[in-house]
Structure 1
Amino acid sequence: MSPARPHDRQDAPAGFDVLFCGERLSLLGARALWWAAQSTLVVSDLHLGKSERVARCTGVSLPPYETRDTLDRLETLIAAQRPARIVCLGDSFDDDHAARNLPLSDLDRLRGMMVGRHWVWVEGNHDPSPPNLGGIALAEFALGPLTLRHIADPAATGEISGHYHPKASLRGQFRPAFLLDRTRLILPAFGTYTGGLRSTDKALTGLLQSDALAVLTGPRPLPCPMPR
């Protein structure tokens, strides 16, 4: 990991650029990763269909708008970045049943986003079965010098992962956050109905080196030393 710089073009969402394992990546305030050299947009933990799954499993009804909002934000990013490839980094659906039971209108929107793009579904712990939507489904995806998987492998280097929904605080304000050190990058959850695990949790402090960086998401990404 090398010194980073903010980028904020008028035609793209605000991002914070880092040199990670020799690749320049932009950590977008919109909770996604942009890899310009590969024309690749990476999002993690969409958890589409969460309100349906919660109602089905617990009987508790949540306002059923999270899938629409998540897809709205993803569509906006795709329009801004125009990626050739999109990687969904696992837990794209809240479970396999939710994936099979999304409303037809939401499925049509997803299929529309996929047209003309290389779409990769990385398998997550919530959605281990490949979705019947096209694209390719893989346990992990190697691209250039990096490996993209859902759950971090403690022995891995050059790794991009999700799963933990990390969040961090700056001046007492918690936000979803990217966490990274020289060899590992963990993405925040992109989905609307997703909680977060504080960066001070042992599951995260045990994965990242002592000089790790947190980049808080929002209208303008805010980098700071990873709170421990």
Structure 2
Amino acid sequence: MNGCAITVAGANLMALGSGALWWPQERILTVSDLHLGKSERIARRGGAMLPPFDTEETLRRLEAEIDALDPDQVICLGDSFDDLLAADAIAQEARPRLAILQAGRDWVWVEGNHDPGPVDFGGTHLREVHHGPLTFRHIAEQATGEVSGHYHPKARIVLRGRPIVRSCFVFDEHRLILPAFGTYTGGLWTSHAAISGLVGKGAQVVLTGKVATRLPMPR
């Protein structure tokens, strides 16, 4: 498995190179900020005409993690759709694939700032999820045991003499911020006060990619 073991509020987790979070003991897979339908939303609002393959690629990567891990529960940690009109626009493409992924497991859509209303794609729609020592919500509230998303953290480091930019997990012993799992998603540097102010001085990152890498958080 391409991932790094981390511990948050006493829960032993795996930060995977794909950007997904795996909780082996509870068999829970968590992904954040899928932003399905983002290319459609950008085009609809008069922005750049991006190749409309982001939903396909994001779902393909999600399918790969679910096939590999066979989780009992999947938590989508908010901003799963770029907005509610985007959800309607991609329904024909996404609905059957999501139905297959949801079959036989508990599926939770945590509400985000892009998709605050109910989403008619199966599963359960909740503001936040409490499980053992962890609380899963979209935007951090600086609570112990909090697993959140929203900020799309990314790190800029020099590794073996080469500059590298990667999306990343940010965590300390009390809380964790997930990277965006979606294909067309930007990011916020870990040095930004919105992120650095949420974690302690000893915070670390796990860089996503072919080899997940754990490092001190760049500030």
Superposition deviation, residue 59 in structure 1: 4.5
Q: Which residue of 2 is the match for residue 112 of structure 1? A: 100
Distance (whole Å) between structure 2 residues aligned to residue 168 and residue 161 of structure 1:
17
Q: Which residue of 1 aligns with 2:68?
A: 80
Structure 1 segments unaligned to the other structure (5+ residues) = 1-7, 9-13
Question: Aligned partners of 1:196, 1:59: CA distance in 2, in Å?
Answer: 18
Unaligned runs of 5+ in 2: none
- Give how far 1:158 is off: 0.6
Structure 1 position 41 matched with structure 2 position 2:
no
Amino-acid identity (%): 53
Q: Which residue of 1 aligns with 2:153?
A: 166
Partner of 1:197 in structure 2? 188
In the superposition, the TM-score normalised over structure 2's length comes to: 0.96
Q: Which amino acid aligns with 1:210?
A: K
State the SS of the aligned residue for 1:37: coil
Structure 1 residue 169: Cα displacement: 2.3
Q: The residue matched to 2:25 in structure 1 has which SS?
A: helix
Q: 2:17–2:208: 8 Å Cα contact kept in structure 1?
A: yes
Contact 1:170 1:224 in 2 (8 A): no
Give the partner amino acid of 1:92.
Answer: S
- Counterpart in the other structure of 2:9: 21
Contact 1:118 1:135 in 2 (8 A): yes
For residues 187 and 93 of structure 2, what CA distance do their matches in structure 1 show?
Answer: 28
RMSD: 0.9
Where 2:96 maps in the other structure, the secondary structure is: helix
* AA at the equivalent of 2:184: Y
Q: Distance in 2 between matches of 1:201 and 1:21?
A: 24
TM-score between both structures, scaled by the size of structure 1:
0.92
8 Å contact kept, 2:191–2:218: yes
Question: Structure 1 residue 41: deviation in Å?
Answer: 0.4
Q: Deviations over 1:123-179 (max 9, x none)?
A: 00000012101111111110111000000003x111000000000123120100000
Q: CA deviation at 1:19?
A: 2.0
> Are the aligned partners of 1:29 and 1:219 in contact in 2 as well (CA < 8 Å)?
yes
Deviations 1:26-78 (A, max 9, x none): 00001000001111100000000001100111243110000000000000000
Matches within 5 A, 1:1-228: 8=1, 14-154=2-142, 156-171=143-158, 172-228=163-219
| CA distance in 2: counterparts of 1:131 and 1:106, whole angstroms | 12
For the residues of structure 2 that align with 1:103 and 1:83, how far apart are their CA atoms? 24
